[in-house]
Amino acid sequence: MERTFVMLKPDAVQRNLIGEIISRLERKGLKLVAAKMMIINKEVAEKHYGEHIGKPFYDDLVAFITSGPVMAMVWEGIDAVKVIRKMMGNTDPLEAAPGTIRGDYALFTGNNVVHGSDSPESARREISLFFSEKELITYRKDLDTWVNG
């Protein structure tokens, strides 16, 4: 089973999309193993988006992600990283297919509603940036055999 980091960005929180997005991930069969509302400080934002330092959108990105509460989460399931990236859709909402989260709820790249780790390595790094080991809940659901084989 794989774990991945998902963050509902400030626009998702302000637009009352938390429940909608969590519902999609739950219905897919993914399991929520950690969640917290938080306001990210600049230091954490810069660590999280370190790979983008120096790019033209970097300052706006850090300003945006620290501008209000976000919902940080860890989700678990078979191929969770790839599955959630697919469900999120393309970074640019114009290119994101209808039916994806960004395709359905976002209009431009700056405010694209959701973050999801792009690889298992990124997932490990991002999970440990936002959560302590103790905050990650390992548990069984009776549905697991139906969903995860």
Which are the catalytic amino acids? 115
Q: Residue 108 region, left (φ>0) first, then alpha (ψ -120 to 50), else beta?
A: beta
Bridge-based pairing of strands 2-8 and 31-38 is unpaired
Distance CA 148, CA 18 (A): 25
The least distance separating ligand IDP from the CB of residue 3, rounded to whole angstroms, comes to 17
Please give the residues from 37 up to 96 whose contact with ligand IDP meets the rule CB under 6 A.
Answer: 57, 61, 91
Size of the site for ligand IDP (CB under 6 A): 8
State the residue number with the nearest CB to Mg ion. 118
Longest dimension (CA), the chain: 47
Please give the residues from 97 up to 136 whose contact with ligand IDP meets the rule CB under 6 A.
Answer: 109-110, 112, 115, 118
Q: Which positions touch ligand IDP (CB under 6 A)? A: 57, 61, 91, 109-110, 112, 115, 118
